[in-house]
Structure 1
Amino acid sequence: MAGIGPISQDWEPVVIRKKTPNAAAKKDEKAVNAARRSGAEIETVKKSTAATNKSASSSTSLNTRKLDEETDVLAHERVPTELKKNIMQARMDKKLTQAQLAKLINEKPQVIQEYESGKAIPNQQIITKLERFLGVKLRGKK
């Protein structure tokens, strides 16, 4: 450790200046005013796409048209009638309520209710749990 002097750091302030966003507009304005004073002819043109995102608006109208022309009705797959009847029958054979069955498979009672009413989107993991705890094959051939 001998021979190493104290460590010093050289801290100098660094100043970063940004140009104001209106700097270009002010220069253009000054040039226009100077041209007016000198009597030169000035032509101004208003951009029709000013302050808009033209590419986004044109693609939006195309997408809107495609959606309007679309005839397919898209919906999530629901629990088949046969499956919901099988779940309900197996649960009643075991003399379990929806809440008790839900507790057995570590799901919310609402999940069992949705499966039995046919509103749920089928999840193979939940169906497998139901088959295991009810001791019945719910899907496929019996």
Structure 2
Amino acid sequence: MAESDWDTVTVLRKKGPTAAQAKSKQAILAAQRRGEDVETSKKWAAGQNKQHSITKNTAKLDRETEELHHDRVTLEVGKVIQQGRQSKGLTQKDLATKINEKPQVIADYESGRAIPNNQVLGKIERAIDERPRSAPVLRAL
């Protein structure tokens, strides 16, 4: 009782909500009813290994009113990759395993859907001993 004094005041408070409770739908609705600002954001690629992100500013592209888009790999590049892969007797999966990429990446490059990435193209070139980027049409990449 030596700590108690007439001049000191002891304040007892409840603990604040835990992180899981603060994120619950009930807590969000209660905060909105009180008129507090509620910020919600979605996690992007949270549990995935995103190795090759698009380096161009996609938000800037979205804000532009002109018809802007990311350049894609041309079909000539896809054909050179496909012919080189087949001449080596590799499937798309084998080539992807050889260069440590996903098979979908190889499929995208061969079909012309991929956004050119020099690291991936370099690995493909070394694996198939072809130079898909050296064609005159492709020097712009």
Per the normalisation by structure 1, the TM-score is 0.50
Larger RCO, structure (CA 8 Å, separation 6 or more): 2
Per the normalisation by structure 2, the TM-score is 0.50
